[in-house]
Chain A
Amino acid sequence: EDQVTQSPEALRLQEGESSSLNCSYTVSGLRGLFWYRQDPGKGPEFLFTLYSAGEEKEKERLKATLTKKESFLHITAPKPEDSATYLCAVGKDTGFQKLVFGTGTRLLVSP
């Protein structure tokens, strides 16, 4: 059975305190691992797609990496505006894409 597990469930950081979020997955026919940011009551906002082990992508203070079993979202020197829930999702190579989401990591960055 396809599974996506994110840890920690919640993370509180001081502004400027770097950390990493983890997404481990078990899925057959992986076609992309996706990171989204979601603010309360709003739709997930696309951040990154990773396709193969060893791939890395960066955007401002965020950097996503991928291995064969997990992905990390590294947050460098976070700011309060980075506070959100970060969702990891996997896409399967079934011919038509649907996403299987993890339960997310709620990040709170204090000034």
Chain B
Amino acid sequence: AAGVIQSPRHLIKEKRETATLKCYPIPRHDTVYWYQQGPGQDPQFLISFYEKMQSDKGSIPDRFSAQQFSDYHSELNMSSLELGDSALYFCASSLRGQGGNEAFFGQGTRLTVV
């Protein structure tokens, strides 16, 4: 079965640079979520989109922005990168109203800021 696809899997950037992470949800899923997971920490919710509109916002820095496109893929744009932004970034997708909105996660993008 198709899963959530994230790209790239690994990304190394310098401080103050910009990074773009991409997420392709499971086909027919209408909701996309972004999470940030620091070393040894639990995933922290950043932002979500439902039917291409922002639906909820968590602890996402103002330097970050995200959007969901007409084909339902999503991109997380991160500017003025800081060392503390180094983390695993996960995208998840779900189908609203299906069961309990179980969210299925991608394999993540490991961002390293040097």
Contacts and interface: CB of A to CB of B under 8 A. Distances in A.
A41 interface: yes
Given A43-B90, A104-B42, A97 B101 contact: yes
B107 A42 contact: yes
Interface stretch (B13-21, B43-51, B75-83): B43-51
Interface string A75-98: 000000000000100010010111
Contacts of A46: 102-105
A58 interface: no
Contacts of A102: 42
B88 A96 contact: no
B96 interface: yes
Interface residues of A, number: 24
A109 interface: no
Interface of B: 4, 31, 33, 35, 41-45, 48, 50, 55-56, 58, 88, 90, 92, 94, 96, 99-108, 110
7 contacts: A34-B103, A43-B106, A49-B99, A91-B101, A97-B48, A97-B94, A99-B103
Given A45-B105, A91-B101, A97-B96, 7 more contacts: A34-B102, A42-B107, A44-B43, A46-B105, A96-B31, A97-B94, A97-B103
What are the 4 tightest A-B residue pairs by CB atom distance, in nearest-first order? A43-B105, A32-B100, A101-B42, A96-B55
